[in-house]
Structure 1
């Protein structure tokens, strides 16, 4: 089987350990002055691509992101983990791009880079979006394997094991194909200090997203309002089980 090029889509998100706050006005979350990192599901997709290259099944791993200039930091992390080069489709700081817009830009990058396999995280933790991979596969008219928990390359095809409600489903897809990574696909590695230093010398290309077909105007998916959850009420002790049942009945729980 000839070694192939793998394109990995990655996203810069607010770090999972940061307590999310709603910005004044309720139109977005507070993103200024907080730590950002690589989306955890994108980390899994990147790790799988790097493992394929280390096994000799892939010749090159290209990390791509759609976001503001600050997303270069995320791409440098991807390079330190093992990507060979990176491409940033830059949008203005604060610009909103939805799954359809991201998929459109990634489809244009696929046309430029000619990968045989595209790997994405199954969802983003900041907006819970899980549609980009499916939209991209539809735009490219490629087969798709979503929520992949096991990936095995074969001659001209990829075998994907995915979790479904009834158990496990195995698909055999002809290449080229689009895959989205599930949590159980692998355990991502940490970027070591030597690799972080080496990543500074790896190529990182910045292209205007508009040159890659980013649709103008408002995105198709719009966030109307955000609200923080109400504060939890304090607990209340009861003397015995009958008192507990009575409290539950009074509150309409039973």
Structure 2
């Protein structure tokens, strides 16, 4: 049992990049491929996301419904962390299920944020119509894709939970960080035309790994919930209004 737990921890540290490490800057992230026109994305200090795009042809008031599509995880599953998973004797199928669970959680988080919006600006629908905004999301990272820990500080064991700390930076700007990244686009339900895009990448404020449930992705949930609320706020903000980013997370600079 101890050997199994040790293998899990080593995979999470080396493959997932140690969820607790602050103060390290992340290098600029490459576009994942999910967004077909990433060059349109620009930094805008009035939004909570690192990069956004809005098609000026569209007024935010012309849509009354939102269809939230199933969340894409293809760009997570294509990362080379799975080689490390096999080497550590971690069940790839189980981790794949965990990733899909996070995708389902993300979709429901955005649906919930829309439905619980006090202004009730949009109605969530299951079918696309002419007044529907189609929201398509992709989780593009749940771990650093280009970082590898070459040294581990220490792991403190507590019942059923491991708190990871003391990761050593080796020059890579992502070293030692847990990362969750999202890309999203909104399309016109009537024409399919691109209406808006956003991309963001953040580090969870604390890294806790639940060995019993293998919840290596759990710290990302808080960020996802915040993204959902921020997007709803952004979609209906007043002209010139600044939608602040959450101070609870560590922003990873693109």
Common fold: TM-score over 0.5: no
Greater strand percent: which structure? Answer: 1
Q: TM-score, normalised by structure 1?
A: 0.28
Structure with greater Cα Rg: 1
Q: Which has the higher contact order (CA 8 A, sep 6+)?
A: 2
Q: TM-score, normalised by structure 2?
A: 0.28
